[in-house]
Structure 1
């Protein structure tokens, strides 16, 4: 079981947090996190359900992480192992994650794929999303995988879609001309864009696009 204790800072106040594997006892809080992190117009049917969460903790508990702050779950991060071919990167979220049920988990896969990450809005200034991502990097190294990979939503794109293409939007983020709530966060976490995925997920804010972003294992 993964467990790591840290301090984060709320302005100048140190706040103790715990990054750990989530369990069945956490399911109700995990579903609440989904509701808070992905409000409409994000489809409510894409929030976690109990069957998905049971699969997460039984098929690949190493990839089921949460952050606890003062006894309350503040965020969660879920991963699955897959075989990824960089020469054929195109895919959809539902295909590579088995619609979030991860029954396609491959223990001998080469890539740790991020199924989902979410942090409750009231905790987002504490940097705990980055802590969870770094914890997943530990798992990539421990298991000797090639990379961590995932499709990052680009929820700021809809407001600018009539002015720029998805490719131009991504370049504007990389240049610092535009700040996107998700892509900019992932860049801060050390993730590197490797391409765009069209029709990745039913997501009005992102116009159904996502940016495929990886972190390569530096020991491979």
Structure 2
């Protein structure tokens, strides 16, 4: 099981944090974090439910991480193992995560796929998301899989969709001309772009696009980069 203690900072405020695997006793707190992060009008049926969380901790407990500060869970990150085919990268979030139930988890999979990352709004300036991502990279190394992979939303795209295609928007973000709340965050976490996917998830802000982004296991040789953007 995974557990580490770190110190996190919000300007002059210093907090001791614990990142560990979550368990059944944490379910209510994990759902609370989802409620705080995605308040109405976000549909409540899309928050984690106990059946999904039960599958996370039973099918792949190594991929179920949370962050705790002052005895309070303030963030979580969940993954599953899949056998990613680099020649056929297109997929939807529902397909590859089993709509968050992860019953398609492959213990022999070559890729740790991100199902979800979530941090309570009042703790986001502490860099919890980046620490959770770093911790999941450590899981990639320990399990000796090829990569961490996930689809990054593009919530800034709706402001530019009338003026540019989705791939042009991504090129502007990658060149530094634009910043996207999610894609730029993932770049800062060390993720690199792989493939632009249409109809990844119903998401008006992203026009249903997502950018697949990976972190390659630095201790494995897994070939060259993929096509970054294709429509």
Gaps (5+ residues) in structure 2? 221-231
Distance in 1 (alpha carbons) for counterparts of 2:153 and 2:14: 31
1:40 to partner: Cα distance: 4.9
1:161 to partner: Cα distance: 1.3
Structural RMSD (CA): 1.2
Task: Give structure 1 regions of 4+ aligned residues with deviation exceeding 3 angstroms.
Answer: 39-44
Matched with 1:161 is 161
1:133 to partner: Cα distance: 0.5
Q: Deviations over 1:175-220 (max 9, x none)?
A: 1121111111100100001111111011112111111000000100
1:42 to partner: Cα distance: 4.4
TM-score, length-normalised on structure 2? 0.92
Q: Secondary structure at the match of 1:98?
A: helix
Distance in 2 (alpha carbons) for counterparts of 1:196 and 1:34: 27
Matched with 1:151 is 151
Is residue 75–residue 119 contact of structure 1 (8 Å, CA) maintained in 2?
yes
Q: Deviations over 1:42-86 (max 9, x none)?
A: 443322111000000000000000000111111100000000011
Distance in 1 (alpha carbons) for counterparts of 2:43 and 2:91: 20
Distance in 2 (alpha carbons) for counterparts of 1:13 and 1:3: 23
Residues 1:27 and 2:27 aligned together: yes
TM-score, length-normalised on structure 1? 0.96
Q: Secondary structure at the match of 1:84?
A: coil
Distance in 1 (alpha carbons) for counterparts of 2:31 and 2:116: 12
Q: Please list, as runs of the form range in 1=range in 2, the aligned pairs for 1:98-117 lying within 5 A after superposition.
A: 98-117=98-117
Gaps (5+ residues) in structure 1? none
Q: Secondary structure at the match of 2:116?
A: strand
Distance in 1 (alpha carbons) for counterparts of 2:41 and 2:182: 16
Cα 1:40–1:209 change in 2 (3 A) is farther
Cα 1:43–1:201 change in 2 (3 A) is farther
Is residue 153–residue 183 contact of structure 1 (8 Å, CA) maintained in 2?
yes
1:36 to partner: Cα distance: 2.4
Q: Secondary structure at the match of 2:170?
A: helix
Q: Deviations over 1:76-116 (max 9, x none)?
A: 00000000011110000000000100000000100000000
Q: Secondary structure at the match of 1:185?
A: helix
Matched with 2:131 is 131
Cα 1:50–1:139 change in 2 (3 A) is same
Q: How many positions carry a matched residue from both structures?
A: 220
Q: Secondary structure at the match of 1:8?
A: strand
Matched with 1:65 is 65
Matched with 2:96 is 96
Is residue 43–residue 202 contact of structure 1 (8 Å, CA) maintained in 2?
no
Is residue 82–residue 110 contact of structure 1 (8 Å, CA) maintained in 2?
yes
